[in-house]
Amino acid sequence: MPKNFEHSSPNPSQEEAILTSEGPVLIVAGAGSGKTMVLTHRISHLIEKGVKPESILAITFTNKAAEEMRTRISAMKSHPYDEQAPGPWVGTFHSFCVYILRNSGKAIGIPRSFSIMDEEDALAMIKEALNDMGLDPKKYEAKKLRNIISRKKNEMENPNDWSSSGSGQFGNILLETWRKYEEKLTNAKALDFDDLLLKTVELFTKNPEILLFWQERFKYIHVDEYQDTNLVQYHLTKLLAQKYRNICVVGDIDQAIYSWRGADFRNILHFERDWPDAKMITLEENYRSTQLILDAANAVIVKNKARVPKNLFSRKKSGPKITLFEASNEEEEATFIAEIANHLVNPPAGGGMPPREIAVLYRTNFQSRIIEEKMLEKNISYQVIGVRFYERKEIKDTLAYLRAALNPDDVLSMKRITNFPPRGIGKVLLTKILSGEELSPKEQNKIVEFKKILEEVKKEVTEKKSSEAIKAIIKKSGLEEYFNDGTEEGEMRLANIQELVTLAKRYDPPAGGSAPEGILKLLEDAALMSDQDTIKKEENSIKLMTVHAAKGLEFKAIFIAGLEEGLFPHSALSGDNAELREEEERRLFYVALTRSKEKIYLSYSVFRTIFGERKINLPSKFLFDIPEELLERAEEATITLE
């Protein structure tokens, strides 16, 4: 066994998963079954038996999971993980593809300094494309078009081989918008999230010698959360692993909750078909939750048809029952949540639970508003997960200066900063510049001044450390002076961009390192940030988030709010594939239940106001899947944990 094993006596399934180092391996890992530990010790075992660390690849789905894996590998005394020395490559699918494309993308026309369009940028480009076509972005639902284009890219389609025939006027508009959108991306030397994956597969498919180079580089491949992979990710991992066949995937169909973004849980079902000699190992012992919680979760998920049979169990004592609260409306529900949470944190006898060990989960984001109100009334510290630092306007403005300096063809960033802070280059003048019209001497002077600023910014970016460059840019761009206007809002925005300087220090290159590389990495992380990356480790507060955002996290006590028909399970279940969608909603509820270590509070409202309309609700059908003996009504419940 690898040194420093986390459990004194690993269970037989864990040990088999760690020591089976060669050939294809499928690890079916139930919730809380120690899969991260298994993966990190598996990597440790490979290194101890002589595998070069740099030939090991581990792909996760969130930066948080990747950071945790790197930290655990680093803690193993047999091989300290050194960021500067060759080591296992650990990261997300998207960051891995950025790494490949920065190094090898030139073969398909992608420059090293390409820009990454986040969702806001991509939507802005779709709107531009519609405007170019003389169409109203509101009438033709730019967001809907963006989502369809994204889905088609995830299905490995492109506008050149997709026909709109038979799709009517909307199909023709979609195809033309897609073509213009791709043209804009190409001209801006930019890729959207979907392109990062798609272009990497294209690179490998069209250039066998480049594929061979990366196959030789990564001879041992690990993919976490394999049930959440889409078609492109499936092909990418298959291409990389086909030479040495050392591919280990970890997943759990019962936690497949991302079909709406293109994930296909059938990939995990097809693994043994694709790799006939694969070994399948099932991890069923749960180290997180009490047996009572697992009994409830098992009773819920067993009703799904599309799954690999397993039965989670725990050696922990049974634990307190699950508390169920029926509220008359959403305000009463939120009051209940805030009062119980306050009691958990500040019990009369003292010795309360740390706020960071408590989470409030809900199906959709709109549910957080009333819960936040009640938390504020009770003076409870909380953090809403999903409010992303890098999406704040002042941060995007600052980052746009960096992007424009590294990639002058990034028209979107150029448009963002040309007149911000205001420098007299309005929409009319900007249109004249972009169309190549002749400018007056006064207009020329404004452009010369702006170009001078941009040159200074470029000098800072290419010559200084990331933090020093951003500090200088804030001054030279005029952002500092603009936000330092004496107002509370200006002070807050200035504080945020100053915080960006602090964050940028972690991207400062080592002695002798290339200055722009740090900025490129900063821009990459900013674009690829997920909801979980917004969680502040040092912040001791109750977390409010959607169940989707809670995937992979754990807390001592959780609240699951809004368990009503039409909300959870969601009303989108009607129509085609209703049964498949209901199974996914059931998996989502299963994921919510298995986030808890000790205590669960479930609640629903008889009346709820949604989009201004007051509705009467039935309790969620999922509540009836939980055996009655595992539940207690709120009026009968004891608040203190066992």
The two tokens of residue 393 are 């306007």
- Cβ-in-10-Å burial (0-12, 13-18, 19+) of 636 comes to exposed
> Is 356 in the active site?
no
Closest Cα to residue 94, out of 552, 535, 525, 553? 525
> Is 35 in the active site?
yes
The two tokens of residue 33 are 């079954």
The two tokens of residue 282 are 């099932």
> Is 480 in the active site?
no
Q: Please identify which of the residues 36, 200, 215, 398 carries the catalytic annotation.
A: 36
Q: Please identify which of the residues 225, 228, 264, 357 carries the catalytic annotation.
A: 225
**From CA 517, how far away is CA 504, in angstroms rounded?**
12
**From CA 340, how far away is CA 323, in angstroms rounded?**
11
Q: Please identify which of the residues 227, 255, 335, 367 carries the catalytic annotation.
A: 255
**From CA 296, how far away is CA 363, in angstroms rounded?**
19
Q: Return the ∠ at Cα 270 (arms to 95 and 246), rounded to 5°.
A: 55
Is-contact 336 559, C-beta < 8 A? no
- Would you say 29 is a known binding-site residue? yes
Three-state SS at 25: strand
- Would you say 30 is a known binding-site residue? yes
DSSP-derived secondary structure letter, 564 = B
The two tokens of residue 388 are 């992303």
- β-pair type (607-610, 613-616): antiparallel
* Four-residue CA torsion sign, 412, 418, 422, 425: negative
N residues, the chain: 642
**From CA 490, how far away is CA 411, in angstroms rounded?**
27
Q: Please identify which of the residues 224, 252, 332, 397 carries the catalytic annotation.
A: 224
Q: ω before 348 within 30° of 0 (cis)?
A: no
Is-contact 337 360, C-beta < 8 A? yes
Contacts of 7 (CB under 8 A, 6+ apart): 14, 34, 37, 287
**From CA 504, how far away is CA 515, in angstroms rounded?**
12
| DSSP per-residue letters across 241-279 | HTTT--EEEEE-GGG---GGGT--THHHHTHHHHSTT-E
Is-contact 424 203, C-beta < 8 A? no
| DSSP per-residue letters across 389-412 | GGGSHHHHHHHHHHHHHH-TT-HH
Q: Please identify which of the residues 321, 356, 595, 608 carries the catalytic annotation.
A: 595
Closest Cα to residue 51, out of 170, 284, 217, 280? 217
Q: Please identify which of the residues 14, 35, 102, 184 carries the catalytic annotation.
A: 35
**From CA 559, how far away is CA 544, in angstroms rounded?**
9
> Is 595 in the active site?
yes
- β-pair type (56-60, 382-384): unpaired
> Is 215 in the active site?
no
Crossing angle for the helix pair 93-104 and 515-527, nearest 10 degrees? 140
**From CA 43, how far away is CA 26, in angstroms rounded?**
15
**From CA 296, how far away is CA 205, in angstroms rounded?**
46
**From CA 45, how far away is CA 51, in angstroms rounded?**
9
> Is 255 in the active site?
yes
- Would you say 440 is a known binding-site residue? no
**From CA 453, how far away is CA 459, in angstroms rounded?**
10
Is-contact 614 330, C-beta < 8 A? no
- Would you say 34 is a known binding-site residue? yes
Distance in Å from the first CA to the final CA of the chain: 35
Closest Cα to residue 359, out of 346, 376, 379, 375? 375
Output the known binding site for ATP.
29-36
Which residues does the annotation mark as catalytic? 35-36, 224-225, 255, 595
Output the known binding site.
29-36
